[in-house]
Amino acid sequence: MGEIGTSDVNILEDIAQLLDKPGQTYRVIIHTLTKLNYEPALDRIRQFINDLDPLIASAAITSVCRFSKDYSQMGKVIVMLQHQNVLARRLSIQDLIDARYYNAIPDIARCPVSLVFRLRGIRMLAEAGMKSEEITFEMIQPPLEQTIRDHPDDLGLVHSYETTPDLTVLVRTLYETDFGKCYLASKTILDHYADTAASALLANYEEEVKSDYGAHFHVIKLLGWLKYAPAYDLLLEALHNLQPQYQKSRAAAAIALGELGVSKAIPVLKATLSSKNWVLKYATLMALEKLGCRDGHEIALNDSDWLIQAKAQLQSTLIN
């Protein structure tokens, strides 16, 4: 119902009355009522802000915030960004979007989930906040670029190791579906195995890594952080991979090419600015900056995507 949408007061009230019944999916109900802007349900929603289920409480706090502009409890939602459960972390980003809580953008950037979820949250909040003139591009640029860069040192990691695992174990961890664990493994590889990691990362590349888009994404990034020059051709291959599930890897490859510091990548990167993938284009502009290219922004000054245009225009202002 939340996705379809309705303004029928009778239907909305029927949904709200479910909050008074035991055993309901309260989070879904609260989220739906909030999305459909049914403010008469506010008092009934308010009773859930201290619910024992943190996901229900988070949705209720978000709704109260949205309807009453009372942000006093939003710290409890921010805390959820560091929850041990990956689903809880993802849902907390959705709650912050629903609350239109723009102050949370830097916290979202540090949340250890896939950058897809973080970028969605940052972009949606930025669009709403800039439309209402409550925030500016300059305010969201640092956390946005931190997220696209996606270095594990910039994240608030929620997992830890009692002892440093073997490199083989860490490489296998890159296949986990909980990206929080992947980021911890990446950080540990960079901190403890920088001299030997590249060969281990590439050992099963053709047989395994290349067919697992999650692991592929992390390996591509790591090769950049390790500044492993022999991976240049492999990074180019990732940059040009048009398969839908590998779009994250394309942006990661752009960042990695910037980290390699090889000037011959500049024309290749410039060519990707014609892509429709906004994350790839933004990552490319960042990589071109890293490589000292001072005219890459000119190609993107009139880009159809407002974030790319804003980035290019700001670069142009700084250079000129």
pLDDT digits (tens, 9 = 90+) for 127-153: 999 999 999 999 999 999 999 999 999
- 285 within some domain: yes
C-alpha distances out from residue 19 to 15, 31, 170, Å: 8, 12, 45
Nearest one of 109, 86, 115 to 218, comparing CA atoms: 115
**C-alpha angle with apex 285: 156 to 303, nearest 5 degrees?**
115
Whether residues 173 and 314 share a domain: the answer is yes
Chain centroid, CA 189 distance in Å: 22
> Does 145 fall in a domain?
no
184-222 CB burial, b ≥16 within 10 A, e <16: bbbbbbbeebeeebbeebbeebeeebbeebbbbbbbbbb
Inside any domain, residue 147: no
What local confidence, expressed as pLDDT, does residue 59 receive? 94
Kindly tell me if the per-residue pLDDT of 300 is higher than 50: yes
Do 193 and 306 belong to one domain? yes
Q: Which domain holds residue 281?
A: 167-319
| 179 occurs within a structural domain | yes
CATH code where residue 218 lies: 1.25.10.10
Nearest Cα neighbor of 165 from 201, 191, 139, 132 is 191
Per-residue pLDDT tens digits for 41-77: 999 999 999 999 989 999 999 999 989 988 888 999 9
Domain boundary among 70, 87, 116: 70
Helices (H) and strands (E) in the chain, counts: 19, 0
Q: How many domains is the chain built from? A: 2
Look over the chain and give the mean of its residue pLDDT values, rounded to a whole number: 93
Query: What is the C-alpha separation between 235 and 214, in angstroms, rounded?
Result: 15
Q: Evaluate whether 115 touches 148 at the Cβ level (below 8 Å).
A: yes
Domain limit, last residue, from 70, 104, 123: 70
The pLDDT confidence band at residue 4, using thresholds 50, 70 and 90, is very low
Please tell me the predicted confidence (pLDDT) of residue 256. Answer: 98
Residue 3's pLDDT band (cuts 50, 70, 90): very low
Q: Which two tokens stand for residue 300?
A: 């993107």
Share of the chain above pLDDT 70, in %: 97
Residue 185 has pLDDT above 60, yes or no: yes
**Is 19 inside any structural domain?**
yes
Classify residue 308 as exposed, middle or buried by CB count within 10 Å of its CB (0-12, 13-18, 19+).
buried
Domain match, 64 and 174 both: no
Q: Is 20 exposed, middle or buried (0-12, 13-18, 19+ CB in 10 A)?
A: exposed
**pTM for the model:** 0.92
Q: What is the structure's pLDDT at 2?
A: 46
Do both 177 and 59 map to the same domain? no
Task: At 46, list the tokens.
Answer: 């308010």
Give the per-residue pLDDT at 5.
56
Distance CA 272, CA 254 (A): 9
Q: How far apart are CA 225 and CA 268, in angstroms?
A: 20
pLDDT number for residue 320: 60
Q: Is residue 131 part of a domain?
A: no
Report, as an integer, the average pLDDT of 168-184: 96
Residue 109 is assigned to a structural domain of this protein: no
**Would 87 be classed as within a structural domain?**
no
Q: Which residue has the higher pLDDT, 4 or 198?
A: 198
User: Are residues 66 and 180 located together in one domain of the fold?
Assistant: no
DSSP letter assigned to residue 165: P
Percent of the chain residues past pLDDT 90, beyond the cut: 85
Q: What is the pLDDT of residues 20-48, one digit of tens each?
A: 999 999 999 999 999 899 999 999 999 99
Which of 9, 41, 70 is the endpoint of a domain? 70
Task: Specify the pLDDT at position 1.
Answer: 44
Predicted confidence at residue 225, as pLDDT, reads 98
Do 186 and 304 lie in one domain? The reply is: yes
